[in-house]
Amino acid sequence: MALINLENVTMEFPVQAWKSDRRRSSKEEKPIGGQLSSGQSGHMVVRALDRVSLSLGAGDRLALLGHNGAGKTTLLRVMAKLFIPTHGRVTIQGRVAPLLNLGFGMDMDSTGYDNIFIRGLFLGMSKAELKKKADAISEFSELGEFLDLPMRTYSSGMRARLAFAISTHVETDILLLDEAVATGDARFLRKANEKLESFARESKLLVLASHSNQILRDLCNKAVLLEHGRIKAFGDLEEVIETYSASAGVDPSHG
Ligand SMILES: Nc1ncnc2c1ncn2[C@@H]1O[C@H](COP(=O)(O)OP(=O)(O)OP(=O)(O)O)[C@@H](O)[C@H]1O
């Protein structure tokens, strides 16, 4: 079973007392960020998502498009239940694998090998499942003897390799992906991208945020365009890419 249902979801972040005398002419103004305003309590808030309603089921591979700060990552985090929305309802059915922040659920003082179990359990895998998969994960990470050393001794690329290897070996119904997760050296990056593609194709429901039309075209069949936290367009991927490209004044065949 794979289902995501969002009803009127609004996400506001309180921000420090904020005062800006900046004035921008409408000519200069480019879309950026969520909506800055005064919230119900009178404190300043950034409204990152504004009454978002969305219903997704098995077979849907949704691309999230939008300018910097449009709300893509916030939406993924709400779907992963890492953020509880300020208003609205989120219903998720099925096992969720969030590939949003690869560092979540890792213990820097434990060895790389132990972290396979720590992060694997955090992602919802059972001990028995992890025992079966530990060798494949170790092999995919290519960390060899380094797996017996504490993670704090790893370079950031080595940490990313291990986190990536663990996350992509989870059996899942729903995969939530932020494009920024694939990292490492050039050779590992190629291998990581191939793994990501096969992982995305196997998962029943995929939501992917990316600024690369090529990646979105490879993996997705539907799209949402967000603008200042609101859904501006939803539907066929090519049509939404066209709408976004037209509003940003760029060629849809690029990127
Ligand atoms: N923890 C936070 N505290 C305050 N504001 C936040 C927080 N997280 C996100 N925001 C704000 O919410 C808005 C949406 O941010 P989000 O990261 O979801 O955008 P995005 O579409 O993923 O952007 P990008 O393409 O640049 O990664 C932005 O205005 C951002 O400043």
Count structural domains, the chain. Answer: 2
At residue 215 the predicted structure's pLDDT band, cuts being 50, 70 and 90, is confident
The reply to whether 171 and 244 lie within a common domain is no
Identify whether 255 is part of a domain: no
Identify whether 22 is part of a domain: no
The reply to whether 193 and 104 lie within a common domain is yes
The reply to whether 172 and 192 lie within a common domain is yes
CB 72 less than 6 A from any atom of ligand 1: yes
CA of 221 to the centre of ligand 1 (A): 25
pLDDT digits (tens, 9 = 90+) for 9-59: 999 998 876 556 665 555 556 777 788 777 666 778 899 999 999 999 998
The reply to whether 45 and 167 lie within a common domain is no
The reply to whether 192 and 171 lie within a common domain is yes
pLDDT digits (tens, 9 = 90+) for 194-214: 887 787 777 789 999 988 888
The reply to whether 188 and 230 lie within a common domain is no
Q: Which of 16, 37, 43, 73 to mutate to test the pocket of ligand 1 (most atoms within 8 A of CB)?
A: 73
Residues spanned by the domain of 241:
3-15+32-95+209-248
Q: CB of 210 within 8 A of CB of 255?
A: no
Closest CA to 162 of 208, 131, 121, 119: 119
The reply to whether 70 and 106 lie within a common domain is no
Identify whether 139 is part of a domain: yes
User: 81 is written with which tokens?
Assistant: 């239940």
Its pTM surpasses 0.80: yes
pLDDT of residue 203: 76
More confident residue, 125 or 139: 139
Cα separation of 217 and 208, whole Å?
11
ipTM metric: 0.98
Identify whether 146 is part of a domain: yes
Identify whether 79 is part of a domain: yes
The reply to whether 89 and 214 lie within a common domain is yes
Q: Is the pLDDT of residue 111 over 90?
A: yes
pLDDT of residue 19: 59
For residue 54, give the H/E element and its range.
strand 44-57
Q: Which CATH number does the domain housing residue 155 bear?
A: 3.40.50.300
